[in-house]
Structure 1
Amino acid sequence: MSRFQSRLPSMQPEDRFDQRSTEGPPTESTRELPGVSEGRLPWRLTRTNYQLIATVVESYSAVLPRGFVFPSRHALCRYVEGFFGGFHEHLPVIHIPTFTLATEAPELILAIASVGARYRFQTSQSHHLYFAARALLEDQLRHRDGYKPKAPVFDIPGSFPTLPQLESTLLADAPPSHLQNNHAPTSTERDLQTMHAMILLIALGTWNDRSLLRDAFSTASQLALLVREQISSLSEPDSQHQSWREWIKSEGRRRTIFVAYCFLNLHSVAYNSSPKILNREMGSLLLPSPESHWRAESQESWQLARDKDIHSGLSLEEAYSSLFNPDSSRRAASSFGNYVLVHCIIQHIFFARQLQFPSATASSLAPGVLGRLDSVLKSWQLGWEATKDSSFDPSAPGGPLSFNATGLFRLAYIRLHIDLGPCRQLELRDPGTIARAFSNAPLLERSASVARAVLQCAHSLSIPVRIGVEFVARTQTLTWSIVHSLCNLECGLFLGKWLQTIAAVLKRGEPLRDDEQRLLGIITSIVNETELCLQVQYEQDQVQKISQVAAAVIRLWAHTFKGAHVFEIMGLIGAGLDLCADML
């Protein structure tokens, strides 16, 4: 019963109850958010606030899709809970202790609801809300860039009325003030809300139905323009002399810009497109602060968190440059900062690859470049290990960012040695294309650097095996980021290709190096912990046995994608890995 609300329903009339209640309708769980008291849970929505949101959204009926129906209060609360319980912690932009849904931009409200509906597996409702959010976003962008921009929510976009002001507006039976004023200026806060809505809509378009992918790429280009505007007008204040409220605004602005950068970088990883925001454009920004600072609920708790988890401002350029100088003394970055830094490394590798012609072999990065980036990855790993919140547990108190960063770290190691990005063609949504990319990829070089990448991939496989492959398949939807789906795809393909390389070496009668023998033993022992061990244990021919280990490794990865999926691309990845295993 602890999963359900313990209070019995009130016997009071609804109107009397709603006037004194600050809670939303009961939901199926009482999920908690780190550092957030029960009374501040963002899905606790009063009837008054719900009616205000509905009134604001309905005022855009001229631009909303025909037949759009705003969700009921129960449904909206469920979707908002789905968003914060499943998506938000992977890209923590919203400052939950001061967040009020009713004061957010309407396109952001609908985008949050659309993502949340996905996390409640209500696909048709998510699509319904997605197209409504897109319509409001396009309307906002048109008015923002026009001669007479319309304030989409309030008199001055980005201002935050108090709840009593909002309620008095509604109780007065008058239209919200933003409906009476079409000539309000834009503001930084309003633009940040629009950018956040764009990020969510890009996510929905990127990882789901192929028909939405064109929308996602178009919105990504518009988002990049807004990011550049924010960077050009940003001046980093001295956080030591800021109040808590001032710090929230400046930190929230940085986080929004960094999340946009990281998400656009992830587009590059998934679809082999050029990153829309470059590392050098982000260099002057201070890296995000620790999550303990961001989650503080008051001025006092924020100050205590700053005293406990001391964090000095470090620009992205300073932090990234220090990775290239292992002898320099480095200040520890936050878990969010480490996540940003590994994105920088991946972008660096991407452009190093682009300097080659397609006829070059997949593992032919110049030795000097390869050695330098290998050293950078070692430095990043040391920094990650020194960060307080670092964990391999996506449910750790410090949040899943450090866990997600490890997936990108492994991806970076893989892409030093093989680049499957151009040939996977995930945009086609065709499992056969993934299998052909694996089949056509060349065998790997045999080097110490490749061995380190293999070790990272083996460790990645050991995590779901240790937890339980079946368990991960059924639960990763709500705890693992899409980042891990992309990284696990390449980990599976890379390990399979390395095992093919080892089998080819033995087939030629050549001996294995000591490190290769150890790695082969590690991978075989991981497979032996699973139900697929019987396919391997009784094979006498060594070459054939290694081929079976390769098939088992890829099939294990494929099996982790067998559960229910929030995003449709995960099913595609699982099907593609299954086809790769069938080929071995």
Structure 2
Amino acid sequence: MHASITGMIETQVPIHAKARDHRLDKEDDQQDHNAGHPDGDAPGSSRKLSGKDLDKKFECPHEGCGKSYSRAEHLHRHQLNHNPKQIYHCDFPDCHRSFVRQDLCARHKERHTARGSQLLRKHTLTPVVTTAMARKKGSPMKSMTRTPTSHDQENQSDNGTSGQTPMNGVKATLQLNTRMNGVSDAMLDHTPSCPILMFGGESYNRSPFAMADDFAAWLFNDSSFGPGASPMGYPSGSGVTSGAGASYQIGLQAPHFQYDLSGVGLYTTPAPPSHPMAVNSILETTLSGSVLSEDKRKDLLDLIIGRFNETDYAPVKIQKEEILKGNKEDDRHILSLHMMQAYISSYWVHFHPQLPIMHRPTFKSSTCPDLLLLAIMCLGASCLEKRYRYERTQACAALGDFLAWHLRWEIFMDADFRPPAKLWIFQALLLLEVFEKMYSTRPLHERAHIHHATTLTLMRRGSSLIGRSALDSPPSIKDGKGGINGAHGSTTSPDEWWTHWITNEATRRATFAAFVMDSIHATMFGHRVAIAAYEMRLPLPCDEALWSATSSAEVGGIESSLHSNGVKQTTFLEGLKKTLDGQTVRTNSFGRIILMAGLLNVSWHMNQRDLQLSSLGVSQTLTGREKWQNSITRAFEHWRQDFNTSLSWSSENSNSNGSNGMDDYIVESRTVLHHLAHMTMHVDIVDCQIYAGATRLLGRLITTQDYNGACRRMKEQWAPTARARDATFYALRFLSKVISDEHSHSTGKEYSARDDLLLDRPWALYLATIIVWSYGYALDGPLKVPYQLSNHEDKMKDMVGYLNRVGGVPNPDDLAKVTDRNACVGMLLLMRDMFKKTRWELLHEASNLLTKCVEMLIPGAGSTM
């Protein structure tokens, strides 16, 4: 049985599907009958007719009808049922409804793609920032109520009524109700509900393999589903049509606080710079949000001194003694107020642009939970610029390792670490996982892989990530705040709405971050993925201008602008399918990284499916595998082109002078992911490392049998094929791009993995190096004419010459004609020496493995050069 990762809010079934559909059909008929009534004039409304109105009877002359109306226009609309001018048919698969009015037909079709959206819109608050929207004078908000269900009541006690810690740990008490001044009726009619990430599709009992097959068929346009059909309720390829396509549901509806999805999520406005500094600038410790009070610092020190104790692990104890000694009030001490502020600033400048899950405008160190703040400091301490010099950065990296070693257990012991977990718990776990995997030691790296599943399980088990507010629960009649008509006495301020909006968006971003890490890390390290792409039923992240807005009024202005320009929401699945179909996806840079993670995820699952079939002896045509591989490969190229177009547009329309740090990270991350995707698409990276002599991978020892099997596969099944040439071609291009591009030569600067603050690039360079060596060694063997490279200049010259000669071929197939493909000693030595100086222990291991590669090319040379 699959559970649901809501990534947002409580999941419930408001009405049984069949009963709901029957009621909606009746409502369409009723609206067909009463269509055209202005607000308040529909039958059953509270509007009183005057005596003059009552005297007028407009009876339907159709034989046997007998209906009468008080207004002639109402009778005219009714008569369309008897003598329609045109019949409008629903074109949704297996639906045969027809209508005499186009607006009713459109509304009916909307319900197919947005399960319950129209009905729920009438009973659920849909907030829009009121300061940006023109108000209708004399048009008061209608009362809106939602009928409580048994599931509501069951989960109400689950969540309780205690205060929550939304966004970045900033506590806020929300007394929200189902009414908001200034929200126009027109906006209510065009606001779809938001989809949730759901595991198990429409049935918890359905086989996950069947769902995966359905998803693959839909994703790759399998003709067995017919034109316009979509299995399991996935959206059709046409995208959002009625402004509600982003809200399709599969039998479950999220009772979360809704907002105007038709006006957010697609990037038509350039994001303002997140900070005024370039990547290599000196950090300012006075950045908003990074200012750490002395009282908060004391709380953190008390936590470290009093609770970060480990008697059974001597190295940690030694670290603690080393870390705490000295005058902590000295600005040069790694636990001084000055340095702790620098860690927080470093996080926002160097790490946040790469994984923007925290809401920077409202972040305050003073109110952030201690454990989350320490997780931020771990990353910031490991991302310090080289101006802090070698000894200082080494000490700060050791501080990060020490904090992380204890931090996970402290989070596990926190009262909020239980379903439904608070948002800050997920943020802390995700940031800690990134640090453990990509910045720390081998033991912490392995621990992060193990507890990655813990984080996902907590998401799945928790029915809510942000608790329950008044908006998420039905009003209580006993409280006197609502009744049958749902008339509430209080109103919601824009700032209260904004706080709730931030919490919802931050929760979705946390869920996407878990997915991105799951897919990309599986690609980089060769382990299994834990989430399938078809499970991610969420809208892509909101517009970056909205996310970086500093007030509810600013959000309102941006949201109003997006809405007036017709910008509509794109879901992850829609964006993924559009990318595979070569269509433009309008989203932000984080959204594009999410889409690439989706492509990598689909590639992994399709490859696993083929492996399962072959292991069972099921015959399959080669064209089937080639078809999906070619589709995904083309999608990689389209993703890059779409990304480039978006960046060019943003640059042309940006008001900022020059690029900022976020722009630099975005451009470079695009290059890394594009090449990484192509490389790993065509090679088993685990086999590559075993072939190079790795003794332990994925937490287990490599046996002689493992080694012999990997050698056979690499030499016989991989190296002679087009797959090997494709992987090597992109690996060479990536190495040339990063290591020996013209910019580096013109500036006299050399790339340094130690000072590279881009999250995935150093490891991607290591993978590229291993792939190039594997290809050359598998085909050409050891060097027939060994040579010595005695100094750095000789190594650099040898590497540049190799990359120009072998990596300069215009097409992958041209590699088959190149000689001396194994003459890459200079490249291996330079990469080995560079990785040895980094702060990350896994790159030290990579350095040792590259020494073995040199030994295999030139026996005995690994230790002498």
TM-score category of the 2 structures, normalised to the smaller one: 0.5 to 0.7
Q: Which amino acid aligns with 1:573?
A: A
The TM-score normalised by the length of structure 2 is: 0.47
Alignment of 1:470-489 (within 5 A): 471-474=749-752, 477-481=755-759, 483-489=760-766
CA contact (8 A) 1:324 1:375 kept: yes
SS of 1:102's partner is coil
CA contact (8 A) 2:780 2:822 kept: no
Q: Which has the higher helix share?
A: 1
Alignment partner, residue 680 of structure 2:
415
SS of 1:103's partner is coil
Distance 1:211 1:333 in 2: 37
The answer as to 2:769 corresponding to 1:492 is yes
Alignment partner, residue 541 of structure 2:
288
- Alpha-carbon offset, residue 300 of structure 1: 5.3
Residue 352 to residue 127, structure 1, CA distance change in 2 (3 Å): same
The answer as to 2:700 corresponding to 1:444 is no
CA contact (8 A) 2:291 2:341 kept: yes
Alignment of 1:80-91 (within 5 A): 80-91=344-355
Alignment of 1:139-538 (within 5 A): 139-140=413-414, 144-145=417-418, 191-207=422-438, 208-229=440-461, 244-282=498-536, 284-299=537-552, 302=555, 307=561, 312-326=568-582, 329-355=583-609, 356=611, 366-388=625-647, 396-398=661-663, 400-421=665-686, 424=689, 426-427=697-698, 441-442=714-715, 443-447=718-722, 453-464=727-738, 465-466=740-741, 467-468=743-744, 471-474=749-752, 477-481=755-759, 483-499=760-776, 530=797, 532=799
The answer as to 2:364 corresponding to 1:92 is no
Q: Which amino acid aligns with 1:132?
A: H
Residue 197 to residue 144, structure 1, CA distance change in 2 (3 Å): closer
Distance 1:372 1:117 in 2: 41
Alignment partner, residue 844 of structure 2:
571
Distance 1:136 1:537 in 2: 51
Larger radius of gyration: 2
CA contact (8 A) 2:382 2:400 kept: yes
The answer as to 2:292 corresponding to 1:45 is yes
Count of residue pairs the alignment pairs up: 473
Pairing partner for 2:410 from 130, 136, 153: 136
Distance 1:553 1:264 in 2: 31
What are the ranges of 5 or more consecutive residues in structure 2 without an aligned counterpart?
A: 1-274, 312-316, 329-334, 384-392, 472-493, 652-657, 690-695, 785-793, 807-815, 858-865
- Alpha-carbon offset, residue 561 of structure 1: 2.8
- Alpha-carbon offset, residue 294 of structure 1: 2.5
Question: What is the identity percentage for the equivalent residue pairs of Structure 1 and Structure 2?
Answer: 17
CA contact (8 A) 1:349 1:416 kept: yes
Alignment partner, residue 77 of structure 1:
341
CA contact (8 A) 1:429 1:569 kept: no
User: Does 68-77 or 206-215 show the bigger shift?
Assistant: 68-77
User: Does 42-51 or 63-72 show the bigger shift?
Assistant: 63-72
Alignment of 1:6-25 (within 5 A): none
**What's the Cα RMSD here?**
4.7
Distance 2:712 2:826 in 1: 16
Distance 1:446 1:228 in 2: 42
CA contact (8 A) 1:82 1:117 kept: yes
SS of 2:569's partner is coil
Per-residue CA deviations over 1:28-65 (Å, capped at 9, x if unaligned) read xx99489x99854333222244345556x37x946865
Residue 546 to residue 86, structure 1, CA distance change in 2 (3 Å): same
Distance 1:452 1:293 in 2: 40
CA contact (8 A) 1:44 1:77 kept: yes
- Alpha-carbon offset, residue 350 of structure 1: 1.9
Per-residue CA deviations over 1:464-489 (Å, capped at 9, x if unaligned) read 212439945436534321x1223222
What are the ranges of 5 or more consecutive residues in structure 1 without an aligned counterpart?
A: 1-29, 146-185, 508-526
Per-residue CA deviations over 1:162-186 (Å, capped at 9, x if unaligned) read xxxxxxxxxxxxxxxxxxxxxxxx8
SS of 1:546's partner is coil
Of the two structures, which has the highest relative contact order with CA contacts closer than 8 Å and spacing of 6 or more?
A: 2
- Alpha-carbon offset, residue 427 of structure 1: 4.4
